[in-house]
Structure 1
Amino acid sequence: MEINKEVNPRFEDFLFDWNQKFQFLMGGYGSSKSYHVALKIILKLLSEKRKALVIREVYDTHKDSTFSLFTEIIEDLGLLDDSGRRKIAKGKIRPKESPYELRFSNGSRIIFKGMDKPAKLKSINNVSLIWLEECSEVKYEGFKELIGRLRHPTLKLHMILSTNPIGEDNWTYLHFFKDEENERFVLDDNDLYEQGTVIVGDTYYHHSTADDNLFLPESYIEQLDELKEYDPDLHRVARLGRYGVNGIRVLPQFEVKPHKLVMEAINKMEKPLLKNGLDFGFVESYNAFVRMAIDHERKYLYIFDQYYKRGLTDVELADDLDSYKKLIIKADSAEPKTIAYFRQRRFRVIGAKKGPGSRLQNTKKVKRFKKIICSDACPDVIRELKNLTFAKDKNGKIIEDEFNIDPHTFSAIWYGLDDYEVASLKGHGVTRKKVVT
């Protein structure tokens, strides 16, 4: 069967490239990535008898998105079977609703499911192709579950994932690009933005923007460009199709420098003020210990050392921190028993003041520093604070003492700065010290 269809040049190679198991498409609004994924699947199922599964987080959203898109393409290609006969005409495709499904004359089928009804996935077998549309909306556990559903005795297996990128804390970024917490690196997303198409192992990466869609009206692109003036986060996602920080950053003055340069800067200070903070963790949360140096004259905060572990008993934690026992450490006063144990072990641990509104006041205190310079030897501090953003309420307004994650290192910094005010130095006898680490 010969099909003539004009497509965007950016997607020509993608349409017929089936060499990798995973194909990850990301980009801005209006780039036509979803259109070309749907077209690619139709062409594949016309040439081979396959069962494909199209997934969205919510099943009901298929009606006005994926199912509607497939139907539109089928009609445009002249492949729609609307004869009403029992047998589908040769080379044609018949849409079916309730439940949504597309049936091909050669026996191929496209089934539409939602992750909000996982029980209905269990009865599906022999699926050799899955399209996970708006994959960033699906939970990571759902993605891994779908990999297990992808199986066929003879056919090569494929999973296509498409999305508009959101925050770097989303599982799609952590899985397909970088996961600093678990020290996992696959691909620098900046390389993808520059090259457009990258292949890493068994994954095909594809990036696109509205500029790649030759069928878009110029007025649509102008609307996307205007976002830069009043919604830079949405502009980054919609116009540039790039990952980044979603929302308002808590510490926009946070920066990372090589450890050697940080230590040189600290040791050049005339009056460095050294602070140490400890946030106690539990089974799920982390114990975070952070060492800091304050340049009070310049209002700079330097972070040069960290400890970050979870699942430890008080004994194990004290053993790990034994080399720091001569330092004055401000810790979470909500754990008096742990503090008492540390004191028995000869640690100089003091409970930090903690009262109503202290989270907000501590956050404002840290924000008053002109610069927060973190050593690259503190990976967990960087991971938690570099892209830390404020949480929002149901009306979209920021909550000044809640964040997108639970930043344990931020809590440790709060405690370490317990008796310090950025605006003024109240009674601190500061002497010249050299820091060795």
Structure 2
Amino acid sequence: MVAIQKEVNPHFEDFLFDWNEKFQFLVGGYGSSKSYHVALKIILKLLEEKRTALVVREVYDTHRESTYALLVEIIEDLGLSNRIKSTVSPLQINFPNGSRIIFKGMDKPEKLKSIHNVSLIWLEECSEIKYDGFKELTGRLRHPTLDLYMILSTNPVSKGNWTYKHFFKNDLTGFFVLDDEELYEKKTIVKNNTYYHHSTADDNLFLPESYIEQLEELKEHDPDLHRIARKGRFGVNGKLVLPQFEVQSHAKVMETIRSIHKPILKNGMDFGFVESYNAVVRMAIDHDKKILYIYWQYYKRGLTDVELADDLEKEGLKKELIKADSAEPKTIAYFRQRRFRMAAAKKGGGSRLENTKKVKRFKKIVCSDACPDVIRELKDLTFKVDKQNEIIEDEFNIDPHTFSAIWYGLDDYEVASLKGHGAVAKGKI
């Protein structure tokens, strides 16, 4: 093997020679040099061992100006272009020891069927590839004797993307592997046969300072892109519905509620059945400070009215006033027959928009960590946008049942805007 000397970014030195884990997941901001070091790592491996490496992007035609061009550039920089040959029809790179790099796109899945003995796959911009495509590629990774590796690289996107749900956590299902905040702090972590690597432009010592300054400027006019490009962090794409939403320990929330002078207590309920959820939320309002506290939840589906009433009776809610969805008068009537203090929430024209604005007027919304479904639905809740990328103020990225329950529970309570003269409590328990 030819001796190679190459200056690299220190943060990537260990990554270049770590082949202990089957999966290697690199996430980072713009200009962090993650793609460069993945390409260099593959070249070094294929010089050392005879392998077939597959490089995949969602669209095949994007390879020529990205992954292929990068690999050829590195080969030339290493002074190996006289030994490692590249072709453009088809896109392929061939090594003197028989190793080769082939390029495919998930937009032409039929091309994958002819691939054999691939022991190394690189998924560039893996967040753009569909989850089914990732699983298909995992099945294509096979060789009778060599160890198998899959390298995934991406800029971070929404936490709703499959890369986050697969390699970190899925709040909807309770699946958990790793807290992304831990990765941002430690920069590299090995877990579940996966090597995790996080990087930002600060890790690329070859970047001009002017480039980093451009990334910093995003903070003022595009905070979402700043999070992705500068910080290299997963998050929420879009405008948050409740930016004042925060989570505290249940003990702290209850202690604070007990300290409020005359707290206003409210209970709201949204009905569901097969696909949608029955959601009950219990709240306390600090009227003077305009703070909403959420301290209890009920969240189940697939129950009959009898089963639901039995459940809530066991939870001690029979004597509490519950404001519920007025679109279900028969269900409310049944609960009242069961001696529940349940009443229909009033609905006016444009109620979704008005209710959303009402909740947004609270200075703070503090949720107990004992309410996981409230947190899951509201912490990252964003507005939908139209084809012109304009916000639709009464539509959201998900159907938040707990948000509806909050609307109903606050039916007879008004939160004044900052221009107003204080909230008006029309009723309290």
Unaligned runs of at least 5 residues, structure 2: 417-421
Other structure's SS at 2:54 match? strand
Q: Deviations over 1:363-398 (max 9, x none)?
A: 100001112111111111112212222222233322
Structure 1 counterpart of 2:97: 106
| Matched residue, 1:243 | 234
1:411 aligns with 2:404: yes
| Aligned residues: CA RMSD | 2.4
Q: Separation in 1 of the partners of 2:65 and 2:393?
A: 37
Asked if 1 retains the 8 angstrom alpha-carbon contact of 2:187 and 2:199, the reply is yes
- For 2:303 and 2:134, how far apart are their aligned partners in 1? 31
| Paired residue secondary structure (1:333) | coil
Contact 1:134/1:161 (<8 A) preserved: yes
What is the rounded CA distance, in whole Å, between the counterparts of 2:267 and 2:245 in structure 1?
18
Matched residue, 2:419: none
Q: Structure 1 residues 385, 149: closer, same or farther in 2, change over 3 A?
A: same
Confirm or deny: 8 A CA contact 2:84 2:93 kept in the other structure. Answer: no
Name the counterpart of 2:45. Answer: 44
- CA-to-partner distance for each residue in 1:75-94, whole Å, 9 max, x for gaps? 3334346xxxxxxxxx4233
SS where residue 243 of structure 2 aligns?
coil
Identity %: 75
Distance 2:383 2:374 in 1: 17
State whether residues 265 and 428 of structure 2, in contact with CA within 8 Å, keep that contact through their aligned partners in structure 1: no
In the alignment, which residue of structure 1 is the partner of 2:220?
A: 229
Of the candidates 420, 423, 428, which is equivalent to residue 426 of structure 2?
A: 428
Do the aligned partners of 2:266 and 2:428 also contact (CA within 8 Å) in 1? Answer: no
Q: Does 2:278 align with 1:287?
A: yes
Aligned to 1:96: 88
Measure, in 1, the Cα distance between the counterparts of 2:209 and 2:353. 45
Q: Deviations over 1:7-56 (max 9, x none)?
A: 22221221111001111111111111001111111221222222222222
Instruction: Measure the CA separation in 2 of the matches of 1:74 and 1:14.
Output: 19
The Cα shift of 1:111 comes to 2.6
**Residue 388, structure 1, aligned to residue 381, structure 2:** yes
1:142-174: per-residue Cα shift (whole Å, max 9, x none)? 323332222222211111111111233333233
Distance 1:350 1:46, change over 3 A: same
- Distance (whole Å) between structure 1 residues aligned to residue 167 and residue 144 of structure 2: 27
> Which position in structure 1 is the counterpart of 2:126?
135
1:285-364 aligned at under 5 Å gives the runs 285-323=276-314, 324-364=317-357
Cα displacement string for residues 191-238 of structure 1 (whole angstroms, at most 9, x for unaligned residues): 322322221231111111112222222221221122223223222221
Q: CA deviation at 1:69?
A: 1.6
Distance 1:42 1:13 in 2: 16
Check whether the contact 1:71–1:95 (CA below 8 A) recurs between aligned residues.
no
* Aligned ranges 1:156-305 → 2 under 5 Å: 156-305=147-296
Q: Which runs of 5+ in 1 are unaligned?
A: 82-90, 432-437
Residues 367-386 of structure 1 mapped to structure 2, 5 A cutoff: 367-386=360-379
Secondary structure at 1:247 match in 2:
coil
Q: Deviations over 1:237-259 (max 9, x none)?
A: 21221223333221122122221
For the 8 Å contact 2:269–2:278, the answer to whether it is kept is yes
1:273 maps to amino acid? I
Tell me if the contact between 2:294 and 2:366 (Cα under 8 Å) persists in the aligned partners.
Answer: yes
Cα distance 1:112–1:308, how it changes in 2: closer, same or farther (>3 A)? farther
Deviation at 1:336, TM superposition (A): 4.0
Greater Cα offset, 20-29 or 410-419? 410-419
CA distance in 1, matches of 2:410, 2:369: 21
Cα displacement (A) at 1:109: 3.0
d(CA) in 2 for partners of 1:280 and 1:74?
62
> What is the CA distance between 1:362 and its match in structure 2?
0.8
**Taking structure 1 as the reference length, what is the TM-score of the superposition?**
0.88
Report SS of the residue matched to 2:20. coil
Distance 1:335 1:102, change over 3 A: farther
Q: Is the 8 A contact 2:412 2:427 kept in 1?
A: no
Mapped to 2, the partners of 1:354 and 1:113 lie a distance apart of 54
CA contact (8 A) 1:271 1:430 kept: no
CA distance in 1, matches of 2:158, 2:415: 31
The amino acid across from 1:148 in the alignment is: G
Q: 1:339 to 1:175 in 2, by over 3 A?
A: same
Q: Distance in 2 between matches of 1:74 and 1:31?
A: 20
Structure 1 residues 264 and 215: alpha-carbon distance in aligned structure 2, compared to 1, 3 A threshold: closer
Aligned length: 421
Query: Which deviates the most, 46-55 or 341-350?
Result: 341-350
Partner-residue secondary structure (3-state), 2:39: helix
Cα distance in structure 2, aligned partners of 1:122 and 1:403: 40
The one-letter code matched in structure 2 to 1:419 is: D
Task: Give the 3-state SS of the residue equivalent to 2:414 in structure 1.
Answer: coil
**Which amino acid in the other structure matches residue 357 of structure 1?**
G
Q: Which SS does the other structure have where 2:413 is aligned?
A: coil
1:19 partner SS: coil
Deviation of 1:359 (Å): 1.3
Shift of 1:412: 1.4
Q: For the residues of structure 2 that align with 1:128 and 1:188, how far apart are their CA atoms?
A: 29
Amino acid at match of 1:61: T
Give the aligned partner of residue 29 of structure 2: 28
Question: 1:341 deviation in Å?
Answer: 4.2
Supply the AA of the counterpart residue of 1:299: K
Distance 1:318 1:149 in 2: 51
